[in-house]
Amino acid sequence: MTLIMGLSNSGKTTYSLKFNNVVHLDDLYNLSLAEKQEIYSSTEEDVCIEGIYLRRKDREFILDAIKAEKRICIFLNTPLEECLSRETRKRPSFMFFT
């Protein structure tokens, strides 16, 4: 299982397209506790969870909850200026998640 994190507009969603099964941070908020635990307990390696996770305790919670034997954490270190410049770009509507 792979956790992708970084600032808003750092490229997390684009990078996560390399995975077959992607769960976005926004999607986790809408799931029940049982559904979240099912995702965290997945042993599939091709599962990706992507989100901002700026606080250490948030990252540690997710990494501790994940039961997969192989856990990878990727931080997209996109410069702040680049993230801010991407904020004004026009994106297709499918790029926005509710």
Give tens-digit pLDDT for 32-63: 888 888 888 877 777 888 988 878 888 788 87
Give the side-chain half-sphere CA count within 13 A for 16.
Answer: 24
Task: Specify the 3-state DSSP secondary structure of 2.
Answer: strand
What's the total number of domains in the chain?
1
Domain limits for position 58? 2-78
Residue 90 lies in a domain: no
Residue 38 lies in a domain: yes
Residue 63 lies in a domain: yes
Name the nearest CA neighbour of 29 among 6, 1, 60, 52. 52
Residue 43 lies in a domain: yes
pLDDT for residue 88 is more than 80? no
Residue 94 lies in a domain: no
pLDDT at 65: 80
**pLDDT band for position 80 (cuts 50, 70, 90):** very high
- Cα torsion at 67, 95, 7, 11 (round to 10°)? 80
pLDDT at 32: 86
Residue 91 lies in a domain: no
